Structure 1
């Protein structure tokens, strides 16, 4: 909802101050809690779970993920921001909609 979006944006500055570290934590948590998702990222497939935290490549990709998430939050539901990202994930990366639920 928009109120959820506003609540997140109110503290988003802290996240933006260190996107790589927070992004790395988000992806590490995702891969740890849902190990099957790691295979969706070919460059991370061979990284053992014990080595995920602090991995520079994961932090860099996490930075990209959180940067895009910030753009989506700031756009407040605008399809101009969401549609190209959804199209890329569906057509280029072949990511199923079920992975976003």
Structure 2
């Protein structure tokens, strides 16, 4: 993903929509693309914070725990990548530990 695309996703408020689509179970490809977008944009601390503030950590972890996700390897890769990248921020790790 280009730097310009990541910046547009941040500045145009798209993170909230991306997080909302993580819970759209009837569209697994959409969920995968949203998780991939979070993964690719989470190099930036601001994006990681925005994902947490939009409530994106819980859906990602729930997806990782879901047996159906484990059957879909590209989706599982996107989800675990997004969790990994968002975990770079200590506040996101604290959020996950407090809700476990």
TM over 0.5: no
- Bigger-Rg structure (1/2): 1
TM-score (structure 1 length as normaliser) = 0.31
TM-score (structure 2 length as normaliser) = 0.31
